[in-house]
Structure 1
Amino acid sequence: MAEILLVLGDVLDLVDDPAIAGDKAHRYYSPGAILIEDGIVVEAGIAAEIKQKYAPKLALEDCRVIDHSGHLITPGFIDTHIHFPQTEMIAAYGEQLLSWLEKYAFPTEVQFSDPAYAKQIAELFLNELINNGTTTALVFGTVHPQSVDAFFSVAQKYNLRMIAGKVMMDRNCPDDLSDTAETGYTESKALIEKWHNQGRLSYAVTPRFAPTSSPEQLQKCQQLLAEYPDVYLHTHLSENKAECEWIKDLFPHEKNYLSVYDNAGLVKKRAVFAHGIYLDDSEYQCLANKQAALSHCPTSNLFIGSGLFNLAKCEHHKVTVGLGTDVGGGSSFSMLQTFNEAYKVQQLQDYKMSAFKGLYLATLGGAKALDLTAKIGNFLPGREADFVVFHNAPTPFLAFRLAKCTDLHERLFCSMMLGDDRMIKQTYILGKPAKNAAFYASTLYSSNNAQEELA
C-alpha cells in the first residue's frame, strides 16, 4: 500500500530563474501543504485546496500528517561542488590555492587509501550535509577507488541522491596520490559499472584540474564520457590567477583555460566546472552553447583569496550556475552561509542579488546544473520529496529578528544571511526525516577522549 504524507507549512519553491521570470519565478503557499506518495511529490499548494482535492487519499488510515505550520519549507539544497576527503582540514590557515593544495589538501587526502577511515569520514560528511539541509551534492573523492566505494556505500544507506567520482591525477602531484592515464581510466570504469545509477547514486568522471592531468589522461576522461553518456564530468576551472598562469605554461597552444577541456571533448551537458572566476566572453559563450555549468563557490573564493565570481556575466551569456560550498577550501557546509558570502561577492560588483535568486541557485539552479530538474529542485508533481524545514526561532536573537520581518523576501533574506545549521529544523529525504543530532554527535569523534572533551 502507498505511503501517503501531508506536510503542512509555508511552502516556497522556484519554477524559473528570477533573473528571467522575476516574481513569477517563485511560488509561495501560506498556509501551504505538500502531498507526498511513496516519497514523490503529488502536488504542492494552498493547504485548504490540497485537503479538499485529495480528501479520499487523506481519509486513508495510512495517511500521515506532518505539521510544520508557520515554518518555511523549501526544496532540499543542492551543493554543486564539494570535497568529502577535505572534511577534517576545513578552515586551514593562511594559503592560496596552489600552496594550500601542497600544505593541506594533498597530505589529508593520502589517508583515504584506508577504507575504514574513508567510511568514517563519509559518515561524518554526509550527516553534516543533512544537518545543513543539503540533500544532493556533486562530490570529489580522492585518487583512491576505496574513497568512492566508502562514500557511495554510506550515501546508499541514507538513500541520498549523490554524485561522486574518483580523482584522476597523473602529474604535478605527490607520488602517493598519482594514478596514470590508463589506471585512472580502468579504476573509474570499474566504479561506474559498480555504482552509476544504483538507486539514487550517479558517477562523475573527475580529473582534479588540467594542471594535474596529462593530455593523455584528459583523452581517457573523454573516452569514459563517450562510453557512458549519462555520467557527469566534474573538475575545476579558472579559480586562481597563479593557476591560470600555470595553464598558459602547460598548454601554450591553447586559446584559454576552458579550451583545454573543450578540445579534449569534456565541455558538454552534465559537465560542471567549479569556480570559473577568470573567464573571457568566449569561454562563457562556449559553456552556454554546450550546456555545461559553473559552480559558484563564494566561501572558498574568499577564504583562499581566489577572486570574485561574475554572476552578471553568467546571466548575460545564459550560463547555468549552481552554488557550491567547496569544503574544505570553503569554510562552511551551510548553503545559507554560502548564500551569505555570494551576496557579498555580488555586492562588491554592483549586483544586488535577491534572496529568491539565492534560493534558486541553491535548489532549481543546482538541479539544472546537474541535469536533474525532472527529479529534484522544486515541488512540481513527480519530484522526489527532498525538502528542508526552516526553524522560526533557532536562537533568541534570530527569533527576535525574524519576528520583525514584514514580507516573504525579508524573511527569506534574513534566514539566509543570519542562518546556519541551527536554522534547519528538519531535513527530509524522500519524505522521511533525516536530521538526527544525537546520531550525528556520536559520529563526530572516534575516541573516548574526544567525547570527554565535548562534555
Structure 2
Amino acid sequence: MKDIKILKGNIIYTEMPDTFTTLKNGYVIVEDGAVKECCEYLSKKYKNIPITDYKDKLIIPGLNDMHCHASQFKHTGLGMDKELVPWLFSHTFPEEKRFKDLKYAEQTYKNFINEIWKNGTTRSSVWGTLHKEPTELLIDLFLKSGLGAYVSKVNMDANTPEFLDEDTDSSLRETEEMIEKYLGKSQLVKPIITPRFIPTSSKELLKGLSKLSEKYSIPVQSHLSENLSEIDWVKELYPNSENYGSVYDLFGLFGQRPTLMAHCIHSDIEERTLMKKRGVFAVHCPTSNLNLGSGIMPIRKFMDEGIPVALGTDIGAGETCSMLRVMVSAIQMSKLAWMDSDKKLKFLSTSEAFYLATKGGGSFFGKVGSFEKGYEFDALIVDDSCFDMSSYPLEQRIQKFIYNGDDRNIIHRYVSGDLVKEPFPKSI
C-alpha cells in the first residue's frame, strides 16, 4: 500500500537557477517519500487523505552541505589568523588526533549532527578522520539520525605529522572493510572515497583508492586548488603535471566516478576544462575561503562553463553550519569577483545561490533538492512570521529568510518524506 502525505503551505523551490518556482497556499503530494505533484487545488482522489496544513508558512527544499569536516566542528573559529597549510598543522591535525578517543568522537559527532539538523541541512558530504572505529561510529550516528549523508574515512599516508600518519596498506584495508560493512546498508547514508589531498597521499595510496572506487562504484571527494602554497606543493611533487586536477585524473580520481572537489579557487582554464569534461563538481566554500584568506572563487566562470557547482560550509575553516550564511557569503563574494573583473563576471542572484544549496548540491545524491515530480521529498517548514512579510511576494519572503533568518525559523525538517526530529537531544 502506498504511503501518501499531503502538505499545504507556501511552496518555493528552483527548477532552474535563474528563477524561483512558487505556489501560494498550494499543496505538495508526497508518495512513498517522493514528490508526486505540486498543485493549487486537490483532486477528489485525495479526499480521504489527511492534510498537514502549515497555513502561511514556507515549504522549501532541504539544504545540502557538500563539504564539511565533522571532526573539525569543535574548533570552528580557531586559528583564523593563519593560512591553510599552517592552520592544518597547528590546529586541525592536533584536533583530529583526539578522535582516537571514542568518547570524545561520539560527543563531538552527536553535537555536529544536531547542529546541522538545527540549521536545516538535510543531506551532506561529511569527512571523518583517518581513524576507522570513530568513523564507523560517525556513520552509525548518521544512520540513527534520519539525515542523508556521504561519510568518509580520510586517507593520508605522506607528509603528515607522525601522530596522523597512516600505513598505506592498513589505510586501504580499513577503507575497504568499511565499504563492505556499509555499502548498500542504507539509501540515505553511504561511504565515499576520500584522499585528504594530493600532498598527503602517496602514489600507492592514490592508486589503491582509485581501485576501490572502481571496484565498488564509490564516489570520490577531496580538495582542489584552494591555496597558492598548496598548488606549489603539488607542483613540487608532480613537476610534469599540467595542473593540480590532472594529478587526481592521472590516478582515476577525477570524475571517473561521481566526484566532489572542494574550493577550486585558483583553477585555471585548463583545469576547469578537465573538470567539465569529467563532470567533476566544484564545491564553493565561501566562509572558509574568507577565514583562511585563500582567495575568491570566480563562481560565475564555473557556472558559465557548464561545470556543476555546489556549496559547502567547510566546517571548521568555515565558522558556521548554516547554509543560509553560506548562501549569503557566496553572493557577497561573487560581487567582489564582479568588481574585480570590471563587472564582467555577473554576480550571483538570490535564486542562483538558493539553487546551488538545494538542487545543485542535491543532484549529487540523485533526484534531491527540488519539488519537481519524482524528487525525494527533503523539505524545511519555515515560519517567517517574525518578519511580518505575509503581504509580500513569496520571492521576497524567501530572500528575507535567506538573509535574515536562522534556525529559529525552521520548525520542521523532512528527509525522503519522513519527518526528522532532533537526532540526539540529550547530547548537549
TM-score of Structure 1 vs Structure 2, range by shorter chain: over 0.9
Q: What is the number of residues matched between the two proteins? A: 418
State the alpha-carbon separation in 2 of the partners of residues 89 and 156 from structure 1.
Answer: 24
Cα separation, 2, equivalents of 1:292 and 1:338: 21
The one-letter amino acid of 2:38's match is: A
Match of 2:383 among 378, 382, 391: 391
Q: CA deviation at 1:279?
A: 0.8
Match of 1:324 among 307, 312, 315: 312
1:381 maps to amino acid: K
In the alignment, the residues of structure 2 paired with residue 282 and residue 44 of structure 1 have an alpha-carbon distance, to the nearest angstrom, of 42
**Secondary structure of the corresponding residue to residue 169 of structure 1:** coil
Residue 27 of structure 1 deviates from its aligned partner by 2.1
1:73 aligns with 2:62: no
1:250 aligned partner, one-letter code: L
Q: Is the counterpart of residue 443 in structure 1 residue 427 in structure 2? A: yes
Partner of 2:271: 283
Alignment of 1:13-412 (within 5 A): 13-18=13-18, 23=19, 26-46=20-40, 48=41, 51=42, 53=43, 55-59=44-48, 63-93=49-79, 94-199=81-186, 200-229=188-217, 231-268=218-255, 269-350=257-338, 351-368=346-363, 370=364, 372-374=365-367, 376-394=368-386, 399-400=387-388, 402=389, 406-412=392-398
Q: Under a length normalisation based on structure 1, what TM-score does the superposition of the two structures give?
A: 0.88
- Tell me the SS of whatever aligns to 1:9: strand
Partner of 1:453: none
CA shift, 1:144, in A, is 0.5
Q: State the distance in 1 between where 2:422 and 2:176 align.
A: 35
User: Gaps (5+ residues) in structure 1?
Assistant: 445-455
Q: More deviation in 324-333 or 33-42?
A: 33-42
Alpha-carbon separation, structure 1, partners of 2:414 and 2:318: 25
Distance 2:119 2:50 in 1: 25
Structure 2: any 5+ residue segments left out of the alignment? 339-345
Q: Which runs of 4+ in 1 moved over 4 A?
A: none
| CA RMSD after TM alignment | 1.8
In structure 2, distance between residues paired with 1:113 and 1:147:
7
User: Equivalents in 1 of 2:397, 2:122: separation in Å?
Assistant: 22
- Greater length-normalized contact order (CA 8 Å, ≥ 6 residues apart): 2
Structure 2: distance between partners of 1:108 and 1:144: 13
Alpha-carbon distance, 1:435 to partner: 4.3
CA contact (8 A) 2:10 2:394 kept: no
The residue identity in structure 1 corresponding to 2:366 is T
Counterpart secondary structure, 2:288 = helix
Report SS of the residue matched to 1:443. Answer: coil
Q: Give, in whole Å, the separation in 1 of the partners of 2:422 and 2:29.
A: 23
SS of residue in 2 equivalent to 1:205: coil
- The structural deviation recorded for 1:319 is 0.5
The residue number in structure 2 matching 1:447 is none
**TM score, norm. by length of structure 2:** 0.93
Q: Secondary structure at the match of 2:193?
A: strand
Which is further off, 118-127 or 266-275? 118-127
How far has the Cα of 1:406 moved from its partner?
4.0
| Percent of aligned pairs with the same amino acid | 32
Preserved CA contact (<8 Å) 2:379 2:415: yes
